């Protein structure tokens, strides 16, 4: 693994001379100095903490207010704090879904002069939830399946980037809603390593560890008395969720996706259409082919192998057309609606102009119809997706097209008003 450069020192004096501390960061913010670094993290006062749901961790972890933002603080050793900070910085530069590292805090002491652990500070991932909080909201086998599908996709992306996780689990992952699915983000990189390319053995060890950890986490989740009560409320029992079937699904989803993204495909010279067909299949999965090898041999066979695949095909396309920064399934859903909108109202109009008209006539009116205090409940793209789905169900029930204006009003009243604020869940 290549060593990452250490973050730059903040270089500012502490408010109180007796409370010395060192803060290394790439994003200098004097508000970091306001946190009570002279107190053990588990004893931090409520007035500095943000009561967000936390996953299970071997370390003490707390969410805290820093100026206008919220950060996650994890106590660990100086070595592991610096190491994980460097790994997260490299993953950030590679565009891999993970939390953003903020700083490393060392040289912490109590007011009596006793040493305290170092701390790794990362930005809180807005609108994200740990798997336990999501399953508690919607306790069903389908919820767990969607979560492990998202985790499998994340593992594939990490492995394509050369990242060996070493501790794959639902607990080390955060999830955001993504148009009826979930997008997964790496949270804990403490055991990770970055290589130019992973060996098959490294990948298989990671995925087998994931199989074991996920099955154990689901069994632990189902054993909780509170979770059993939640399942009873929706007419289910713990036996309705099979931890081993779920963990096997994770492995098969990973293997199928990895095979589609990386396997060599052979065909005859007169079947060159299969090149475009492979590219289109990868696009449908949400990946672009950045580089591929295409070779012919003496038998007349052509061998195609994708060499570099980049996730985010639909989200990049939507960003180019509209400026909306979304997850992949959200982008896919919105692009579909833009296409249907153009065919119905502006046939023959170029896609970029159609997208701008869709923004003006569909997106903006939807968001304007949502009361400001409710816009923290979900990401904007997720609200739009749910309104479009709600409009479809209303139209199907009525047997005719329901205007978007009517659909969004009904959605706000019947669904959104009762949802928790996922940007800030207390």
Would you state the pLDDT for residue 11?
A: 41
56 has pLDDT over 80? no
Inter-CA distances, 60 with 43, 72, 77, 102, 288, Å = 10, 10, 12, 17, 39
Would you state the pLDDT for residue 207?
A: 97
15 has pLDDT over 80? no
Name residues whose C-beta falls within 8 Å of residue 66's C-beta, 6 or more positions apart in sequence: 29, 31, 32, 34, 35
Give the CATH number of domain 22-123: 3.30.200
8 has pLDDT over 70? no
Q: If you average pLDDT over every residue of the chain, what do you get?
A: 89
Burial of 389-422, coded b for 16+ CB within 10 Å and e otherwise, reads ebbeebeeeeeeebebeebbeebbeeebeeeeeb
Written as one string, the DSSP assignment of 341-364 is HHHHHSTT--HHHHHHHHIIIIIH
pTM for this predicted structure: 0.84
* Distance (Å, whole) CA 205 – CA 170: 16
Would you state the pLDDT for residue 380?
A: 94
Q: Tens digit of pLDDT for each residue in 152-167?
A: 999 999 999 999 999 9
Residue 422 pLDDT class (50, 70, 90 cuts): low
Q: Tens digit of pLDDT for each residue in 181-214?
A: 999 999 999 999 999 999 999 999 999 999 999 9
Q: Tens digit of pLDDT for each residue in 258-298?
A: 999 998 888 887 787 888 888 888 888 888 888 888 888 88
Name residues whose C-beta falls within 8 Å of residue 373's C-beta, 6 or more positions apart in sequence: none
Average pLDDT over residues 354-373: 94
Would you state the pLDDT for residue 376?
A: 86
Give the CATH number of domain 131-261: 1.10.510
């Amino acid at each position: 693994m290549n060593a990452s450069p250490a973050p730059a020192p903040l270089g500012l004096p502490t408010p109180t001379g007796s409370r010395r501390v060192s803060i290394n960061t790439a994003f200098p913010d004097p508000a970091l100095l306001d946190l009570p670094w002279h107190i053990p993290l588990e004893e931090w006062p409520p007035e500095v903490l943000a009561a967000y749901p936390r996953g299970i961790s071997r370390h003490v972890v707390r969410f805290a207010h820093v100026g206008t933002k919220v950060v996650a603080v994890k106590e660990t050793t100086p070595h592991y704090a610096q190491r994980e900070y460097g790994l997260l910085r490299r993953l950030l530069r590679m565009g891999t879904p993970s939390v953003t590292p903020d700083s490393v805090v060392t040289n912490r002491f109590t007011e009596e002069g006793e040493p305290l652990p170092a701390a790794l500070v990362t930005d809180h991932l807005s609108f994200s939830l740990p798997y336990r909080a999501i399953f508690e909201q919607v306790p069903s086998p389908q919820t767990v399946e969607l979560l492990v599908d998202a985790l499998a996709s994340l593992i594939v992306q990490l492995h394509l980037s050369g990242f060996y996780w070493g501790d794959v689990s639902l607990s080390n992952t955060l999830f955001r809603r993504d148009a009826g699915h979930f997008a997964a983000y790496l949270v804990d990189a403490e055991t990770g390593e970055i290589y130019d390319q992973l060996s098959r053995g490294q990948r298989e060890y990671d995925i087998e560890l994931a199989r074991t950890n996920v099955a154990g986490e689901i069994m632990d989740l189902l054993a909780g008395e509170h979770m059993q009560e939640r399942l009873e409320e929706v007419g289910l029992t713990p036996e309705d969720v099979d931890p081993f079937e779920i963990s096997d699904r994770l492995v098969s989803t990973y293997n199928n996706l990895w095979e589609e993204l990386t396997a060599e495909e052979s065909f005859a010279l007169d079947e060159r259409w299969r090149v475009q067909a492979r590219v289109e299949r990868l696009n449908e999965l949400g990946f672009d082919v950045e580089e591929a090898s295409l070779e012919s041999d003496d038998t007349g066979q052509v061998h195609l192998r994708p060499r570099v695949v980049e996730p985010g095909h639909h989200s990049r396309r939507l960003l180019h057309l509209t400026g909306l920064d979304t997850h992949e399934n959200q982008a896919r859903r919105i692009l579909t609606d833009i296409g249907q909108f153009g065919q119905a109202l502006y046939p023959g109009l170029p896609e970029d102009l159609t997208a701008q008209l869709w923004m003006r006539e569909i997106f903006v009116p939807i968001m304007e119809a949502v009361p400001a205090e409710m816009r923290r409940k979900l990401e904007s793209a997720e609200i739009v997706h749910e309104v479009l789905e709600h409009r479809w169900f209303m139209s199907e029930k009525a047997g005719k097209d329901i205007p978007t204006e009517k659909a969004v009003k009904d959605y706000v009243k019947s669904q959104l008003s009762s949802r928790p604020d996922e940007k800030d869940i207390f």
